[in-house]
Amino acid sequence: GAYQHEVGFHCSTRTSVVVHEAMEPSIEEADLTDTQANEWYPVFLARKIMILVSLGPDRGTLELVPFDEDANPMGLLVEPGMAV
């Protein structure tokens, strides 16, 4: 693709677009099943860059949770049209 050489990487494949409709968190959170985790495994295994775009219509908070148990999560305010 365009500008790949300038940024120092080559993109040979792309993941299909995934749209997630956010909503107020419920009190009950369901654990991810093994089957569901296996569906997402290849997506997160091979990806070096991931871009999230907030479509709106409202502002919200994106919570980034590191895999390191000693690190603290970080909340990021996102607005419609913002890319992270």
pLDDT of residue 77: 94
pLDDT of residue 2: 65
Structure pTM? Answer: 0.55
Query: Based on C-alpha coordinates, what's the Rg of the chain?
Result: 16
Q: Which tokens sit at 7?
A: 């940024």
- Alpha carbon dihedral 29, 35, 37, 40, in 10-degree steps, equals -120
Largest CA distance in the chain: 47
Residues of the chain with pLDDT under 70: 1-3, 9, 25-27, 47-48
